[in-house]
Amino acid sequence: MTALPTGLRRLRAQHGDPAARSLRNTWDAPVVHRDLAASPVPHLSAAGIAAWGTDPARHSAEQAAAAAVQDELIDQFLGASAYLFAVPMYNLTMPSVFKAWLDQVIVKGRSFGLPDGPPASGRPALVVSARGGGCGPGTPNHGKDFVVPALETILHDLLGLEVTSFTPELTMAPVVPALAHLVPIHKASLTDAHQQARRRAEKFRDQIAV
């Protein structure tokens, strides 16, 4: 089973999903798909934080509602054995809705901070992070990718996942005249993303079958 939180519709429809689809087409096990654009996760609230340290029997109505949101997301997260995260870059970082998902799921004593390590420890995860521009060498935003390094650290250090990432980039090149000369780099990055996605799906299958 794979949980698939996705970014917002614009990049998802245009760019994020094609490479993700290559993985899913190669993948024949059951998939749970969570579309955060269609069903946004609320921001972690003061009630949601207060709920962590409070006996559920003493939760206020607001805390109980906030805890129910966390419980549902954590159960879905822990119920999967591999993960595909399609997280486009928005203003150099992850979309707020994906950060909200992380903040709801990362709860001490549930998904991390347990004596035996995180319950999802060692499970494979793939991050596909499409971006309209480019952060590779020779591009204007070189060194300014604040999505992938952050996600790799959070998903591994806090949730215990074994993360691989790739970044279909310059997805705006075919539609923005000033970026037209970068179309070949965009196409190469997309081809590479599809190839990697298919390879990764096969590897996931082997890892999970073991």
Residues that bind its own copies (CB under 8 A): 8-10, 37, 40, 43-46, 49, 90-97, 99-100, 102-103, 106, 144, 146, 149-150, 153-154, 157-158
Shortest separation between residue 206's beta carbon and its own copies, angstroms: 31
Can you say whether residue 193 is alpha, beta or left, with left for phi > 0 and alpha for psi between -120 and 50 degrees?
A: alpha
Determine contact, residues 3/80, Cβ cutoff 8 Å: yes
State how far the Cα of 83 lies from the Cα of 159, in Å rounded to an integer: 12
Shortest separation between residue 143's beta carbon and its own copies, angstroms: 9
Calculate the CA 209 to chain-centre distance.
23
Closer to its own copies at the Cβ: 9 or 187? Answer: 9
| Both tokens assigned to 191 | 């081809």
Determine contact, residues 101/5, Cβ cutoff 8 Å: yes
Shortest separation between residue 77's beta carbon and its own copies, angstroms: 14
For Cα atoms 164, 143, 43, give the angle at the middle one, nearest 5 degrees. 65
Task: Reduce the DSSP state of residue 124 to 3 states and report it.
Answer: strand
Closer to its own copies at the Cβ: 97 or 197? Answer: 97
Shortest separation between residue 21's beta carbon and its own copies, angstroms: 19
Closer to its own copies at the Cβ: 107 or 197? Answer: 107
Closer to its own copies at the Cβ: 96 or 121? Answer: 96
Shortest separation between residue 20's beta carbon and its own copies, angstroms: 18
Closest listed residue to residue 135, CA positions, set 126, 144, 127: 144
Closer to its own copies at the Cβ: 43 or 187? Answer: 43
